[in-house]
Amino acid sequence: MNYFTGIDLGGTSAKIGLVDPQGRVLDSTVQKIDATAGFAEIAGAISDALGKLVKGQRGRRPAAIGIGSPGFVDAESGILIGGAENIPCLRGKSLTRFLEDEFRVPVSADNDATCAAAGELKFGSGRHFQDFVLLTIGTGIGGGLVQNGKVYRGSRGFAAEMGHMCVSPRGRWCNCGSQGCLEQYASAPAIQRLYLEKRRKRGLLAGGTNADVREIFKLAEKKKDTCAVDTVEEAALYIAQALGILINVLNPQACILGGGVSQAGETLLGPVRRSITDFSWPTMREGVEVLAAELANNAGLLGAAAGAMDRYGDEV
């Protein structure tokens, strides 16, 4: 039986797993990453960790390897062009070529949110749809796009940077260099900042200085903290604005919310659904489902493996 490898790269660790074609994780490990180390050290550590997993499969090599990485990855060379400041040594380097030389199998690399879309399409909420958009909401906001049952990557593999859609033309400056990006209003840090701002303005800062995003959503769900309720409603409004634009432009069957913030479930999805009517043409919006991603903690790993299956599944 063929199996595939998924590698989910982060700033402090890489999740590595062996995945069968049905999406079952056969074995996995987490390799710590020192972001200050050099490329050879990090790539070597990932290769060694994967090699140990492969030995556990009686030495059978994976059919292909998929890598999910923050930032912009060149589709042809696998070189990380930019946008991954938390792992600076990878910029200008190709982990795909390194692993191809080590394991002698095809290796693909994609932006991590693009991988998440591939994972949801193959194994998660997206498997019921041919056309959907995915927002991954966490420390930042990423996006993935599926059209006609295929992940859409754009001309150079950079498509669907939905977190950098402008939702406020003279709004907050973003680290991408633009103003008013969705990421500045609905990411986890943005939600936390907005909540604390509301508490300060209302003279309620005491006791709220350490609230994390999960706690904010819990407070909003219980409806006992008006600052939390108003914060979630405001973030949901910006998400709905972005999704409304995407609905009008792309005519999808579904809008899927993934990433850590999406684990708030109906506390977030409810106000997004209510507000989306204000930002989309009724005919375009009709029948569009707004739902949570399903892959949760394994989203990155499964998504990277699904990306490899998407690119190379017919060849192996």
pLDDT of residue 206: 62
The pLDDT of residue 24: 94
Q: Where are the domains of the chain?
A: 4-117+298-312, 128-293
**CATH code for the part of the protein at 4-117+298-312:** 3.30.420.40
Q: How far apart are CA 242 and CA 110, in angstroms?
A: 23
Indicate the pTM of the whole model: 0.90
- Altogether, the residues listed in the chain come to a count of 316
Which segments of 147-204 does DSSP mark as H helices, in order? 183-186, 188-201
CATH class of 128-293: alpha beta
Q: How confident is the model at residue 88 (pLDDT cuts 50, 70, 90)?
A: confident
- For residue 183, pLDDT beyond 80: yes
pLDDT tens digits, 195-242 = 999 999 988 876 556 678 999 999 999 998 999 999 999 999 999 999
- pLDDT-wise least confident of 27-41, 85-99, 133-147, 256-270: 85-99
Measured distance CA(111)–CA(144) in Å, rounded: 9
Rounded CA-CA distance 306/313 in Å is 9
Residue 92 three-state SS: coil
Task: Phi first, then psi: give them for residue 130, nearest 5 degrees.
Answer: -95, -25
Q: What is the mean pLDDT of the chain?
A: 91
Per-residue CA distances from 283 to 162, 238, 247 (Å): 23, 21, 10
4-117+298-312 and 128-293: same fold? yes
